């Protein structure tokens, strides 16, 4: 199985891979972190909103209702890019009357979700504020996990204009594992840089692979030396996965089958 996670999902995927390696050895074929950080010491503009008093306030809000409302979460990310996501849109649509047509990326970006209290509070305090994962203090089932236990091939993607997970912060995964690490830096931001299909001819990327016995290269030196390639990074990832995969086999049967799209989750209030 290839495990992949995006943003916070990438952080959780790294935690899961470290815990699995500790308990069961190498159960995964590879790990992919898409704009996913394991070290939050230089976590970017989001640090403007996160300190001990703010996390305590959010914990009180979430404790009362059991979750962080989707509108609250979306508002925080909009404030990080207020010129692009708030003010320019208000000028264009309200003052000038120019309605921007909906597209797939805008629709996906507007599909906000609630954040469960226990998960979000644990993320903000233990991972973001305390930086417990990179320090070896993060616990799973009462035992600390170490990123150095991850020995499987690792593919990490950063984006040049990411305001949520700065690419130099994503690059830090090289410091915490002895695995073979393929690091890819693509043009674009936190969303559009990752959702970058092969039809996007305006994209480009840089990628190299560091074996477990090669010396560390700092991110700025890496960016200056890594060759630039045109196009979407998706085919590069697909080839990387294919090289580390076995033969195609039929999927296992699902008990009860799948619900018709879009499933029940989106219908819940």
Helix, strand, coil content of the chain in percent (nearest 5): 40, 15, 45
Q: Phi, psi (5° rounding) for residue 199?
A: -75, -15
Task: Please say whether the beta carbons of 155 and 237 come within 8 A.
Answer: yes
Burial of 10 per CB tally in 10 Å (0-12, 13-18, 19+):
buried
As a whole number of angstroms, the distance between CA 182 and CA 171 comes to 10
Q: What is the DSSP string of 89-105?
A: HHIIIIIS--PPPP-HH
Point out the catalytic residue in the list 3, 7, 38, 156.
Answer: 7
Q: In angstroms, rounded to a whole number, what is the distance separating the alpha carbons of residues 156 and 159?
A: 10
Question: In the annotation, is 193 catalytic?
Answer: no
* Residues recorded for the chain: 269
Distances (CA, A) of 251 to 1, 134, 184, 240: 12, 36, 30, 21
**How far is the C-alpha of 8 from the C-alpha of 75, rounded, in Å?**
17
Active site residues: 7
């Amino acid at each position: 199985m290839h495990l992949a996670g995006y943003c916070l999902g990438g952080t959780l995927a790294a935690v899961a891979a470290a815990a699995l390696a500790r308990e069961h050895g190498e159960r995964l074929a590879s790990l992919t972190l898409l704009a996913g950080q394991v070290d939050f010491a230089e976590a970017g503009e989001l640090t403007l909103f996160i300190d001990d008093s703010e996390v305590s306030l959010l914990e009180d809000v979430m404790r009362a209702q059991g979750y962080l409302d989707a509108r609250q979460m979306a508002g925080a990310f909009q404030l990080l890019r207020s010129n692009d996501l708030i003010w320019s849109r208000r000028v264009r649509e309200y003052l000038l009357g120019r309605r921007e047509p909906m597209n797939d990326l805008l629709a996906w970006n507007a599909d906000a979700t609630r954040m469960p209290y226990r998960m979000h509070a644990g993320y903000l305090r233990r991972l973001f504020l305390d930086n417990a994962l990179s320090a070896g203090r993060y616990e799973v089932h009462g035992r600390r996990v170490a990123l150095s236990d991850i020995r499987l091939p690792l593919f990490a993607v950063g984006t040049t204009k990411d305001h949520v997970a700065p690419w130099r912060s994503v690059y830090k995964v090289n410091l915490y594992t002895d695995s073979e690490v393929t690091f890819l830096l693509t043009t674009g931001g936190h969303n559009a840089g990752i959702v970058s299909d092969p039809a996007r001819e305006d994209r480009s990327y840089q990628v190299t692979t560091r074996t477990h016995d090669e010396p560390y290269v700092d991110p700025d030196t890496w960016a200056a030396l890594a060759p630039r390639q045109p196009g979407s990074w998706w085919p590069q990832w697909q080839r990387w996965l294919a090289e580390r995969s076995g033969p195609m086999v039929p999927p296992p049967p699902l008990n009860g089958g799948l619900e018709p799209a879009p499933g029940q989750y989106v219908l819940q209030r």
